[in-house]
Chain A
Amino acid sequence: MEVVAELALQNNSMNNKISVKNLNVFFGDKHVLKNINLDITPNKILAVIGPAGSGKTTFLRCLNRLNDLDPEMKFTGEILFDGKNIYQGINPVELRRRVGMIFALPIPLPMSIFENIVYGPKLAGITNKKELNGIVEKSLKDAFLWDEVKDRLNDPAMKLSGGQQQRLCIARALALKPDIILMDEPCSGLDPISTAKIEEAMRQLKKEYMIIIVTNNTKQAARVGDYTAFFLMGELIESNETGKIFTSPNDKRTEDYISGRFG
């Protein structure tokens, strides 16, 4: 069954930055993603929802080729990023500099706050102290963390609270000036106030970036997503504007999931 993504049809005035075509992913014998077709639009937030094991995280990790780390992974189909297939002729290291990722558990690297943020830019070859300071300040401000940490940038990042660590991770991703930010259940371990802060940051960030967020929390998808895609058992059941998905979904299964009948 081929699922036709409608996003492209509705937004053909805009430049589609990512388009996923006939994507199939296998881990060993397991068919994890089945024939996914989806176009993703810049300056919008795409929320990916679905029950555990539906393949949403795998989908996200295809976009920055983090699945490549698993030697068992095989795939067919293509992912076009600005018209170029990211699995052909693109160095994954370069790709990951343009596609930032936030993980479910905040994972500050075992170094100071400052070093965590300049880690990526330094690897990319920026050594000018002034420029690095500027990057740190801007990224922390964009991630709504600057005021809380500006006096202790040299403290170990592990000392921050969970919510602060997650915003540090966002700042760290922003420091690379990516085009796309992938978020894998970024609020699953956080309290409601930290979650609200991160959602606020996302609404600001979408002005400059394309954001794709995987979430187990359908309410969060409704709050922040401009578009929502529903995955089930490795298939993309439907994707549409968030309002439509939540009020009049095309597929019965989407309705069942959103109304909490399973999942």
Chain B
Amino acid sequence: MKNTKEVVIEKSLFLIALSAIFMLFLIAIFIFKEGTPLIFKVGFKNFVTSSKWFPLEGQFGIFSMILGTLWITAGALIIGVPLGLSCAIFLSEFVPRRIMAILKPTIELLAGIPSVVYGFIGMVVLVPLIRENLGGPGLSILAGSIILGIMILPTIISISIDAIQAVPRSYREGSLAMGATKWQTIHMVVLKAARSGIVASIILGMGRAIGETMAVIMVAGNAVKIPRSILDPARTLTTNIALEMGFAAGDHRQALFATGVVLFIIIMILNIIANYAVRKR
């Protein structure tokens, strides 16, 4: 009797585990099935290198959106990584454990704030600030990068803290016993040993930045043109889908799925590069 119970539990867990993977495949297949016909129709090279996006006239080029995505993501990382990493180092190495135990969950709360709230704050506070002090329309790559940079902080901080705290105490003691100062120990030993975890936190943060849609729609301006400076507005791949899916039909609808395909591929490539960077050590 006991054996049948074991078997039933094992099999059902297996099915449940399989269904998650099945879901992933289903989504991938669906996006590719809907998107690839249009890519073949206009040609992959034309689709990704042309910046003419006039869906109603049958012109589908998403180059400016690829650039917009890359600019905003890079900007978010430039802002979020140094901030998040310094914060993680400070919290895990310089703050007593008891205080850290309060601060870390507080920071993780940041991740629970809906993205539309971030977007709203960006729209009301950040955008006018940029417009008045730096010029341009305010709705810009800079605004998008700052908002996303803040949004990826909890991911980077909390995973980096876990990685830093997983470094054995014996490494620190070994280094200190050789006459290293605290900071020398941190940057020459602790950060080196925690590197794969820190890189993982940056990859996850990057994934969040690339995928974030709502907050970007609200602050980045969404103009379909090649951005010339960080004060220019830009449209990302995700916002393109979200903005136009409501009324798109036919080729236009397919073109939006094709945008999803390109997004999918970009995320895959960045993940592979990042994983390779971790393994290369």
Residues of A within 8 A of B (CB): 64, 66, 69, 71, 93-94, 96-97, 100-101, 103, 105, 107, 109-111, 119-120, 123-124, 169, 172-173, 176
Q: In whole angstroms, what is the CA distance A204 to B174 when docked? A: 23
Known: A109-B189, A110-B192. A123 touches B171 (CB 8 A): no
Instruction: Tell me if A109 and B173 are in contact (CB < 8 A).
Output: no
Q: In whole angstroms, what is the CA distance A109 to B192 when docked? A: 9
Instruction: Tell me if B192 and A119 are in contact (CB < 8 A).
Output: no
**Considering only CB atoms, which chain B residue lies closest to A64 in the complex?**
B177
Known: A119-B188, A123-B184. A107 touches B179 (CB 8 A): no
18 A–B contact pairs at CB < 8 A?
A: A64-B177, A69-B172, A69-B173, A69-B176, A71-B96, A93-B179, A93-B180, A93-B181, A100-B177, A100-B178, A103-B174, A109-B192, A110-B192, A111-B192, A120-B179, A123-B178, A123-B181, A123-B184
The interface centre, meaning the residue of A64, A109, A124 with most chain B CB atoms within 10 A of its CB, is A109
Tell me the smallest distance from the CB of B32 to a CB of chain A, in Å. 41
Residue numbers in B under 8 Å from A96 (CB-CB): 176-179
Majority SS at the chain B contact face: helix
Instruction: Tell me if B175 and A109 are in contact (CB < 8 A).
Output: yes
**Considering only CB atoms, which chain A residue lies closest to B182 in the complex?**
A93
Instruction: Tell me if A172 and B178 are in contact (CB < 8 A).
Output: yes
Beyond A66-B176, A101-B177, list 18 extra A-B contacts (CB 8 Å). A66-B173, A71-B96, A96-B177, A96-B179, A97-B178, A103-B170, A107-B174, A109-B189, A120-B178, A120-B179, A123-B178, A123-B180, A123-B181, A123-B184, A124-B179, A172-B178, A173-B178, A176-B179
Within 8 A of A (CB), among B192-236: 192-193
Tell me the smallest distance from the CB of A167 to a CB of chain B, in Å. 15
Tell me the smallest distance from the CB of A74 to a CB of chain B, in Å. 16
Tell me the smallest distance from the CB of B122 to a CB of chain A, in Å. 40
Instruction: Tell me if A176 and B173 are in contact (CB < 8 A).
Output: no
Q: In whole angstroms, what is the CA distance A93 to B183 when docked? A: 12
Q: In whole angstroms, what is the CA distance A14 to B171 when docked? A: 37
Residue numbers in B under 8 Å from A66 (CB-CB): 173, 176-177
**Considering only CB atoms, which chain B residue lies closest to A98 in the complex?**
B179
